[in-house]
Amino acid sequence: MAITTTKSAFWKGFRDSAPFVFMASPFGFLFGVLAAEAGLIVPEAFAFSLAVFAGAAQFTALQLMQENAPLIIILLSALAVNLRMAMYSASLTPYLGDAPMWQRAIAAYFIVDQSYALSIVQFEQEPKMPLAQRMAYFFGTNGLIAPTWVTATALGALVGTRIPESWGVDFVLPLAFLAMIGPMLRTPAHVVACFVAVAAALPASALPYNLGLIVAGIAGMIAGAQAELWLERQKTKQEHGK
Amino acid sequence: MNSIPPHLLWTVIAGLTLGSFALRFGFIGFMGGKPIPDWLMRHLRYTAVAIIPALVAPLVVWPAPTGGDPSLMHFAAGAVTLAAGYLTRNVLIGLGTGGLCLLLLYLAA
């Protein structure tokens, strides 16, 4: 279905994002529950989700705050998890970079995995889409997801304060991280990055101030980048060999 | 249980808000049409998939519920979660399967 107006572009984005609500609501809810378990009150959990608006980074900060990690390590680690947002921002620039500054500033806040993934597919499929419609589509993809994420967090925090500590939900956060890793392992290079990071993290956890996390994260990142280069070289060699 | 001091919490929220916005706004706001160098893109691709496993590995090997003693039950539940998430490419199915596995092992033990 071709998009004809700015308004219909917004609603197309809105509809396309609907399936992601089934992901955002339980995950936002879980963040709220775990935040409450960590001692956050409902307004704190709500403000956290509203201001930061980045699931994986919020879970990372929550875990490290509970480990009494130093402030700088908490910030560095959670922002490192969010570095992919810079990649999304760069990749959206050819499509949205000519919009007025105020629109770009608001759009930047709304760059998340879902809005990026949906928008980049839409923009590549319809290269002739006018700028205003692209922007409307991008905002549409967040029309449902953003309110869902924030509301679900508040509800989760509300419920979380009523869950007795004896239920032992303290292993749910590690399981949530593990569940996030699975879908990230898209290529052999991602698998290399993951396993090098794990192999480095175990001995490095002996380092003070949770520095091991940063060391292992950098090791995994470099390993992933090198693996990608190596795999590309192998591919070129094979093609030349034919 | 209130282990996180409020001033730390609010500093973290403020720092992450500013930092995340800077990461999101950096290119779309200032770089215009300038392409981002390949080597940088290549490293950005692997940060999340390195940091999250590095964070979780010690939590699985030395789990908090046992006070840090290695536990087969928690390791198994962790492995099942990762495997289910990988095979179905779905975070929620991974978490649900792993959580159920932990509950069953807990009841069986």
Q: Between these two residues, B29 and A4, which has the higher pLDDT value? A: B29
Q: How far apart are CA A216 and CA A225, in angstroms?
A: 14
Q: Is A40 exposed, middle or buried (0-12, 13-18, 19+ CB in 10 A)?
A: buried
The owner of tokens 């978490």 is B95
At B66 the pLDDT is 86
What's the pLDDT band for B44 if we cut at 50, 70, 90? confident
Q: Looking at this predicted complex, what is its ipTM?
A: 0.88
Q: Are residues A116 and A218 in the same domain?
A: no
Residues A118 and A227 in one domain: no
Instruction: Out of B57, B65, B87, name the one closest to residue A168 (CB).
Output: B65
**A168, A184, A197 ranked by CB distance to B54: nearest:** A197
| A201 and A108 in a common domain | no
Contact A52 B84 (CB under 8 A): no
Does residue A157 contact residue A40 with C-beta atoms inside 8 Å? Answer: yes
For residues A99-114, average pLDDT: 93
The 3 state secondary structure assigned to A110-166 is: CCCHHHHHHHHHHHHHCCCCCHHHHHHHHHHHHHHHHHHHHHHHHHHHHHHCCCCHH
3-state helix, strand, coil in chain A (%, to 5): 85, 0, 15
Highest-pLDDT range among A133-142, A164-173, A178-187, B25-34:
A133-142
Contact B55 A201 (CB under 8 A): yes
Cα–Cα distances in angstroms (integers) from residue A44 to residues A26, A58, A75, A81, A195, in the given order: 19, 12, 17, 21, 35
Average pLDDT over residues A119-142: 93
The partner residue sitting opposite A51, judged by closest CB among B13, B23, B89, is B13
Asked if B102 contacts B74 with a C-beta cutoff of 8 angstroms, the reply is yes
A11 and A23 both lie in a single domain = yes
Answer whether residue B9 shows pLDDT above 80: yes
Distance CA A137, CA A12 (A): 7
Same domain, A90 and A163: yes
Residue A31 and residue A156: Cα distance in Å, rounded?
7
Contact list, B19 vs chain A (CB under 8 Å): 75, 78-79, 82
Domain identity same for A234 and A135:
no
Q: Is B104 on the interface with A (CB under 8 A)?
A: no
Q: Which domain-ending residue is among A166, A183, A200?
A: A183
Q: Find where tokens 């292992």 sit.
A: A216
CA distance A89 to A27: 23
Same domain, yes or no: A178 and A190: no
Average pLDDT (B7-24) is 95
Q: Is residue A176 part of a domain?
A: yes
Domain total of chain A = 2
* Residue B7 reports pLDDT greater than 60: yes
Chain B nearest CA to A149, separation (Å): 15
Q: A190–B27: do the CB atoms touch at under 8 Å?
A: no
B28 confidence band (pLDDT: 50, 70, 90): confident
Q: Please give the Cα distance from B105 to A222 (Å, whole number).
A: 37
A108 in the same domain as A21: yes
Percentage of residues of chain A with pLDDT beyond 90: 62
What's the pTM? 0.84
Residues A117 and A190 in one domain: no
Residue A1 domain flag: no
Tell me: pLDDT of B1 over 60: no
Please write the tens of the pLDDT for every residue from A19-54. 888 888 988 999 999 999 889 999 999 999 999 999
pLDDT of residue B64: 84
Residues of chain A contacting B58 with CB distance shorter than 8 Å: 201-202, 205, 212
B23, B45, B57 ranked by CB distance to A85: nearest: B23
What integer pLDDT is reported at residue B87 of this predicted model? 95
Categorize the per-residue pLDDT at A166 as very low, low, confident or very high, splitting at 50, 70 and 90: low
Q: Residue A19: exposed, middle, or buried by beta-carbon count in 10 A (0-12, 13-18, 19+)?
A: exposed
Evaluated on CA atoms A12, A18, A23, A24, the torsion sign reads positive
Residue of A nearest to B18 (CA): A52
Q: What is the mean pLDDT of residues A109-119?
A: 91
Question: Between chains, do B91 and A182 touch, taking CB under 8 Å as contact?
Answer: yes
pLDDT band at A208 (very low <50, low <70, confident <90, very high): confident
> What pLDDT is stored for residue A175 in this prediction?
92
Do A121 and A139 belong to one domain?
A: yes
Domain coordinates of chain B in residue numbers? 1-35, 38-108
A111 and A213 belong to one structural domain? no
Mean pLDDT throughout A204-210? 86
Boundaries of domain holding A219: 185-242
